[in-house]
C-alpha cells in the first residue's frame, strides 16, 4: 500500500496508543447506552457527491 494516502479533510484517524484509549471510551459508551435501552444503528459515513453538488455547486470542497 502506498505511504502517501491521506484521509479526507475532517476525518479523524486513531493510531496506537491513542486507538486503545478511543476503544475503551467506545466500549464504556456502549455499556451505558445499552443499560439505558439504546441500540446501535449504522449510518453512511460518506454520501454520494451528487447529493451535495445539486445544493452547493461544484466549486466547493
Asked, for residue 28, whether it belongs to a domain, the answer is: yes
Q: Model confidence over 16-61: pLDDT tens digits? A: 999 999 999 999 999 999 999 999 999 887 777 776 666 566 565 5
Tell me whether residue 59 is in a domain.
Answer: no
Residue at 4 is within a domain: no
Residue 34 belongs to some domain of the structure: yes
- Assigned domain for 21 exists: yes
Query: Whole-model pTM?
Result: 0.53
Structural domain harbouring 23: 15-40
How many domains, the chain?
Answer: 1
| Residue 58 in domain | no
What count of Cα atoms within 13 Å lies in the side-chain half-sphere of residue 40?
Answer: 6
Tell me the three cell numbers of residue 40: 446501535
Amino acid at each position: 500500500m502506498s505511504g502517501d494516502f491521506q484521509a479526507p479533510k475532517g476525518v479523524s484517524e486513531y493510531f496506537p496508543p491513542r486507538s486503545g484509549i478511543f476503544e475503551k471510551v467506545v466500549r464504556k459508551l456502549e455499556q451505558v447506552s445499552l443499560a439505558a435501552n439504546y441500540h446501535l444503528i449504522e449510518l453512511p459515513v460518506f454520501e454520494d457527491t451528487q447529493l451535495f453538488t445539486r445544493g452547493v455547486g461544484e466549486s466547493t470542497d
